[in-house]
């Protein structure tokens, strides 16, 4: 019996270690937090009652003893008589283990008579349990109630939204003033600070406030800091925070900039001991964006880039030149370039600045690895924890970030049914609104989380894919909606407005638009909403240069939606996670759809008399096709470079970085768009300047 328990102990210990590894390093599946303690308890019990069996696992050694005797005869002669006696002794001996066997015992929890090895196994399993407890409960105990931070959200040509959290001790409110000034010029240090809006921080709102700084100039650098109402400079931030206003889209002068797109992150996954606040994906992003300031002990990214930058720049230049000579410019996807050399191209003078980051949902994981409840504080704690991360601070203090939300800001696979009072939506969105949504661009409809904005010659529509989502288990599929009537109307209206007023149109969906993903596709993606998706796709394909950005799947893929004759192809770039798990070995993306579209192409054929003529041929192509799929990697983001300086050949360049290394590049050549513009001088004049003219007695409103 004891021997059987010893074997059971070994089996339970091995299974326990496998489950712990999967939970901490592969995927933090919620059910594992219940399985792991049970396995550990089973291991302890079987180890305790199986301990006597270890004393029997010894080597038996036999010894044989031979004895000689001498005898004398009575007649005086000596006779030697040898008598052999055998004595057998059985002696238990414990053989000392070799280094190889000792490692096998520790790694595979093999039963051992050596007490030190049994204790080592117990210590390892106990440390693993403590690691699980650290990962699961650290978010609860690390409440981050004292975190102080500020960041920039939406930036307009003449304004910016700024978030600040500054708790006050032994008080219920804290009034602080934002002061700002323009950067640049020879005597920048002599430029006076100007008083900005006052933030009214209260305990009720968790000491968070978003203020708007207005009266700014387009494409201009500014900096800000905070003071008390008595003009005393506050200790945070230690140095002023810088930001750059958006270009004026009415100038149509062409723009060249980059932005980051990704989603899904949680601190300290994959798990490392005593790293509860680290978000490694954001450390890698900071090194990518600002490599000269990296303090990593690994070989610096700029050094690695220097070995290959010439070839990369030459390749990009060749592609642009090729596109300039192309006769067809409509969503042509240039051959993708697989890159294996680390690159920090942000430092190169030919690469434009990164202006903002689009975070596409799952900013927190309210229910992974454990759900602490649906009260407001439970959700707010997770947002504070992220903003308390030194990894995230390196990014949000330098890069404006705008957000949408997905299910894990609420609970897994959440469908709102258009009911804003349905728990846990009210408390979950209270935290999302305070920390993220209020700093977004103003919503299309008041009180909603979907919004649109312009940046240069690109237009963006950010969807809310959770609040109005239908319950797909009821009613007919034709009645299922992802967006709801009001949001859908706003999206169609936006498409009509930007058709001839923007070159590139980015539609942001927190979940993939394609139906090629299989696992949990109906619970998450647009696959469960075929009628609404089909109608939207038709609308997208009636407008040139539409690119869908999505996240959620913890994988990367580029999907091409083929259009029929007269339509425009649509591209989807799906990127995640920013810093979270991916599932190895299992692949859930189909390479193409079974549904096809008919397209007409021209071919040159020879006639019977040997002449050549052009004929039209109809071909069938998949409606949805994968151009690139990369599942591996815990840390993924895509850099989207928008270049509209040449209106005849606009281009979007996609660079996807996985685990800190550029892994894929793609050029998307846009169709030229003749932008509608205004000739009114007043449309180019900031409101702040009009106000100055009004004060001196001039009335610009009469001029324009």
611-660: per-residue pLDDT in tens? 888 888 889 999 999 999 999 999 999 999 999 999 899 999 999 999 99
d(CA 216, CA 157): 7
Residue 533 has pLDDT above 90, yes or no: yes
Angle, helices 425-435 vs 376-387, to 10°: value is: 30
Q: What does the pLDDT read at residue 271?
A: 97
* Strand pairing category for 256-262 and 354-359: parallel
Which of these, 88, 91, 85, 36, lies nearest to 64 by C-alpha position?
Answer: 88
Residue 87 has pLDDT above 80, yes or no: no
Q: What does the pLDDT read at residue 544?
A: 96
Q: What does the pLDDT read at residue 258?
A: 98
Give residue 79's pLDDT band: very low, low, confident or very high (50, 70, 90).
Answer: low
Mean pLDDT of 487-493: 97
Mean pLDDT of 94-114: 75
As given in the structure block, the two tokens for residue 452 are: 């649109």
Q: What is the pLDDT of residues 384-419, one digit of tens each?
A: 999 999 999 999 999 999 999 999 999 999 999 999
Residue 592 has pLDDT above 90, yes or no: yes
Give residue 90's pLDDT band: very low, low, confident or very high (50, 70, 90).
Answer: low
Q: What does the pLDDT read at residue 152?
A: 98
Out of 119-128, 170-179, 287-296, 357-366, which region has the weakest mean confidence (pLDDT)?
A: 287-296
d(CA 601, CA 619): 7
By CB neighbour count within 10 A (0-12 exposed, 13-18 middle, 19+ buried), where does 99 fall?
exposed
Q: What is the pLDDT of residues 688-700, one digit of tens each?
A: 444 444 444 444 4
Q: What does the pLDDT read at residue 427?
A: 97
Give residue 249's pLDDT band: very low, low, confident or very high (50, 70, 90).
Answer: confident
pLDDT, averaged across the chain: 85
Mean pLDDT of 510-520: 94
Give residue 72's pLDDT band: very low, low, confident or very high (50, 70, 90).
Answer: low
DSSP state of 681: G
Report which listed range, 326-335, 473-482, 624-633, is most confident: 624-633
d(CA 319, CA 215): 40
Give a three-class secondary structure readout of 57-111: CCEEEEEEECCCCCEECCCCCEECCCCCCCEEEEEEECCCCCHHHHHHHHHHCCC
Q: What is the pLDDT of residues 351-389, one digit of tens each?
A: 899 999 999 999 999 999 999 999 999 999 999 999 999
d(CA 302, CA 631): 26
Residue 676 has pLDDT above 90, yes or no: no
Q: What does the pLDDT read at residue 310?
A: 37
Which of these, 156, 152, 141, 184, lies nearest to 277 by C-alpha position?
Answer: 141
Q: What does the pLDDT read at residue 341?
A: 35
Q: What does the pLDDT read at residue 320?
A: 36
Q: What does the pLDDT read at residue 674?
A: 87
Q: What does the pLDDT read at residue 330?
A: 39
Out of 466-470, 508-512, 615-619, which region has the weakest mean confidence (pLDDT)?
A: 615-619
Give residue 97's pLDDT band: very low, low, confident or very high (50, 70, 90).
Answer: confident
Strands in 208-313 per DSSP E: 208-214, 221-228, 241-244, 256-262
Give residue 51's pLDDT band: very low, low, confident or very high (50, 70, 90).
Answer: low
């Amino acid at each position: 019996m004891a021997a059987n328990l010893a074997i059971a102990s070994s089996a339970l210990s091995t299974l326990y270690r496998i489950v712990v590894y999967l939970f901490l390093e592969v995927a933090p599946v919620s059910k594992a937090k219940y399985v792991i303690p049970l396995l550990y308890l089973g291991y302890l019990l079987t180890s305790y009652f199986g301990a006597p069996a270890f004393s029997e696992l010894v080597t038996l050694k036999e010894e044989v003893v031979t004895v000689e005797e001498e005898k004398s005869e009575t007649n005086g002669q000596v006779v030697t008589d040898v008598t052999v006696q055998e004595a057998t002794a059985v002696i238990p001996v414990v053989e000392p283990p070799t280094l190889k066997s000792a490692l096998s015992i520790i790694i595979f929890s093999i039963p051992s008579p050596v007490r030190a090895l049994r204790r080592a196994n117990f210590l390892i399993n106990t440390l693993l349990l403590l690691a699980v407890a650290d990962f699961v409960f650290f978010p609860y105990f690390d409440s981050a109630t004292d975190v102080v931070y500020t960041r920039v959200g939406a930036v307009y040509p003449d304004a910016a939204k700024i978030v600040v959290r500054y708790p006050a001790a032994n008080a219920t409110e804290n009034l602080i003033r934002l002061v700002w000034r323009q950067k640049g010029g020879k005597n920048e240090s002599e430029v006076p600070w100007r008083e900005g809006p006052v933030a009214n921080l209260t305990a009720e709102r968790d000491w968070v406030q978003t203020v708007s700084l207005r009266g700014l100039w387009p494409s201009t650098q500014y900096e800000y800091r905070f003071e008390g109402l008595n003009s005393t400079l506050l200790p945070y931030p230690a140095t002023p925070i810088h930001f750059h206003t958006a270009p004026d889209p009415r100038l149509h002068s062409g723009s060249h900039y980059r932005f980051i797109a990704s989603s899904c992150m949680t601190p300290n996954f994959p798990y490392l001991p005593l790293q509860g606040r680290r978000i490694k994906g954001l450390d890698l992003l900071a090194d990518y964006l600002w490599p000269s300031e990296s303090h990593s002990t690994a070989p610096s990214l700029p050094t690695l880039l220097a070995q290959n930058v010439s070839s990369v720049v030459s390749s990009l230049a060749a592609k642009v030149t090729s596109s300039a000579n192309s006769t067809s410019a409509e969503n042509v996807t240039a051959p993708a370039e697989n890159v294996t050399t680390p690159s920090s191209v942000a430092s190169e003078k030919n690469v434009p600045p990164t202006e903002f980051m689009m975070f596409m949902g799952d900013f927190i994981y309210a229910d992974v690895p454990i759900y602490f409840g649906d009260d407001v504080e439970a959700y707010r704690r997770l947002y504070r924890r992220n903003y308390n991360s030194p990894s995230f601070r390196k990014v949000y203090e330098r890069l404006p970030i705008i957000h949408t939300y997905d299910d894990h800001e609420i609970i897994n696979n959440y469908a709102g049914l258009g009911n804003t009072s349905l728990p846990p939506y009210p408390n979950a969105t209270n935290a999302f609104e305070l920390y993220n949504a209020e700093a977004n661009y103003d919503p299309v409809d008041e009180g909603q989380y979907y919004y649109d904005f312009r940046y240069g010659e690109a237009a963006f529509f950010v969807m809310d894919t959770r609040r109005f989502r239908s319950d797909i288990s009821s009613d007919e599929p034709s009645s299922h909606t992802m967006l709801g009537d009001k949001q859908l109307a706003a999206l169609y209206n936006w498409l009509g407005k930007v058709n001839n007023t923007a070159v590139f149109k980015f539609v942001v969906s927190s979940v993939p638009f394609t139906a090629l993903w299989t696992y949990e596709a109906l619970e998450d993606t647009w696959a469960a909403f075929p009628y609404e998706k089909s109608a939207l796709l038709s609308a997208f394909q009636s407008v040139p240069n539409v690119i869908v950005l999505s996240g959620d799947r913890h994988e990367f893929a580029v999907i091409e939606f083929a259009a029929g004759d007269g339509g425009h192809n649509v591209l989807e770039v799906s990127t995640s996670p920013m810093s979270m798990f991916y599932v190895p070995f299992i692949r859930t993306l189909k390479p193409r759809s079974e549904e096809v579209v008919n397209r007409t192409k021209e071919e040159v054929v020879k006639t019977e008399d040997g002449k050549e003529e052009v004929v039209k041929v109809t071909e069938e192509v998949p409606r949805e096709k994968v151009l690139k799929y990369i599942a591996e990697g815990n840390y993924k983001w895509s850099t989207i470079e928008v270049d509209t300086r040449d209106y005849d050949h606009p281009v979007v360049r996609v660079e996807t970085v996985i685990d800190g290394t550029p892994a894929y590049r793609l050029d998307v050549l846009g169709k030229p768009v003749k932008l509608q513009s205004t000739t009114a001088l007043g449309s180019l004049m900031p409101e702040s300047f009009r106000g100055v003219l009004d004060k001196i007695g001039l009335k610009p409103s009469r001029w324009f």
